[in-house]
Amino acid sequence: MATLVDKRTSPARPKKAAEQAELERLRKKVARLEKEGAQKDAALELLGKAHALLA
């Protein structure tokens, strides 16, 4: 039992500082929101073109 090591907190994998973890989480969130915004912009552009064709 003494040979078991929790790899999530072992010295080989040091725990990130709270600030670093928060920055990483926020960067991922920003990237996700930018991607969603780009998809919505493309959809609106497509709908506008479809509306122009049908009008």
* Residue 51 placed within a domain: yes
Q: What is the mean pLDDT of the chain?
A: 87
Q: Say if CB 9 and CB 15 are below 8 A apart.
A: yes
Domain that holds residue 35: 21-55
Please tell me the distance from the alpha carbon of residue 32 to that of residue 6, in angstroms, as a whole number: 31
Position 9 pLDDT exceeds 80: no
As a 3-state breakdown, the chain gives helix, strand, coil percent values, each rounded to 5, of: 65, 0, 35
Total number of domains in the chain: 1
Q: Is the pLDDT of residue 16 over 80?
A: no
**Percentage of residues in the chain with pLDDT exceeding 70?**
76
Residue 3, both tokens:
């040979």
Q: Flag whether 48 is in a domain.
A: yes
Per the structure block, which two tokens stand in for 11?
């010295």
In a domain, 6, yes or no: no
> Which pTM value belongs to this model?
0.62
